[in-house]
Amino acid sequence: MIQLDDVGQVFDGREGQVTALEKIDLHVRDGEFVTLIGRSGCGKSTLLRLIAGLIAPTTGSVQVAGDPVTGPRRDVSFMFQRPALLPWRSVLSNVMLPVEIDGGAGDRGRAAYRDQAHQLLELVGLQGFERRLPHELSGGMQQRVSLCRSLIRDPQVMLMDEPFSALDALTRTELSEELQRIKMELSTTIVFVTHSIEEAIVLADRVVVLTPRPGRMREVVDIDIPRPRSLGQDAHLTEVARISARLHGLLAEKAAELPVDELRPR
């Protein structure tokens, strides 16, 4: 579904050029749930924005569903760290925003989308809140609305940029369970950025570990713990703990401990 070949990203910083990403080769299969994990500054958000078509890669190629990415696509949705709801719009109207931007309904008719919006809101437990304004909701509820908005156009790919990181621990656990529940009903491919190791493990089919400055793929870890998993109850399972320890090790390694051939100047 998503194919990244030798992708690199260089930004012009204040002190010359900054290499945000280097030599990224990644294939995300149809319906797969991949989490990207790394320290801040490892370019994980940049990688997500490349797939979203919000920025263009300096080198290499990005493909979604077999087509090179040239800009934002209709079948790819993006979810942000903050709910990013329009404060003057009701919950329902916020969920419908992508359909509206599309210039109406396309092949399905607006009423059908409206029904779907109601269903999605029910799915995340927000029935009865359709007419409320965002400021009347808690942070967790706002992020649920944001989740519904990113699902309204039945995306093939969902890109999620630390969507639960601004929430308190309990809400975060609930939302990650809800996301898994939704994911099990849909065939959507998900790439999820996080800096929480537990979250990365509990959600993912595969965890991609990135190292910072320049962002490079350190390792890809398969997670085969049976679903549904819970950030709350399963977080201390031996398997989770084992993988968590390994990821901690990978993320903590300093440059000096990397194999010598990775340090050679390119």
Partner 1 sequence: MTKRSWLTSSPAAAVLLPVLGLIGAIALWWLATVVFSIEPYLVPGPGDVVRKFFEQPAYLLKETGVSLLETIEGFALAIVVGVPIAVVIVRSAILERLVYPLLLMLNAIPKIAVAPLLVVWMGFGQWPKVVMVLLMCFFPIVISTAQGMKSTPVELVELLRSLNASRVQEFFKLRLRYAMPQIFTGLKVAISLAVIGSVIAEFVGATRGLGYVIQQSGASADTTLAFAAITLLSIMSIVLFYALVLLEHVLLPWARETR
Q: With contacts defined by CB under 8 A, how many residues of the chain interact with partner 1?
A: 24
CA 223 to chain centre: 17
- Please give the residues from 92 up to 121 whose contact with partner 1 meets the rule CB under 8 A: 97-98, 100-102
**Quick check: 78 binds partner 1 (CB under 8 A)?**
yes
Q: Is 54 in the site for partner 1 (CB under 8 A)?
A: yes
**Torsions phi, psi of 97, nearest 5?**
-50, -50
Pairing of strands 76-79, 157-161: parallel
Residue choice 29, 56, 86, 170 for contact with partner 1 (CB under 8 A): 86
End-to-end CA distance of the chain: 30
In this complex, which beta carbon is closest to partner 1, that of residue 34 or of residue 85? 85
User: Shortest distance, CB of residue 20 to partner 1, whole angstroms?
Assistant: 17
Give the one residue of 23, 31, 41, 82 binding partner 1; rule: CB under 8 A. 82
Task: Look at residues 49, 150, 55, 58 and name the one whose alpha carbon lies nearest to residue 99.
Answer: 150
Q: Which of 19, 59, 81, 180 touches partner 1 (CB under 8 A)? A: 81
Q: Does 88 bind partner 1 (CB under 8 A)?
A: yes
Beta bridge partners of 160: 79, 192
Nearest to 83 by CA among 93, 94, 74: 94
Per-position x/- string for 12-51, each x denoting binding to partner 1 as judged by CB under 8 A, each - no binding: ----------------------------------------
67: contact with partner 1 by CB under 8 A: no
The minimum distance between CB 103 and partner 1, in angstroms, equals: 9
Q: Is 70 in the site for partner 1 (CB under 8 A)?
A: no
Q: Rule CB under 8 A: which residues touch partner 1?
A: 52, 54, 71-74, 77-78, 80-82, 84, 86-88, 97-98, 100-102, 133-136
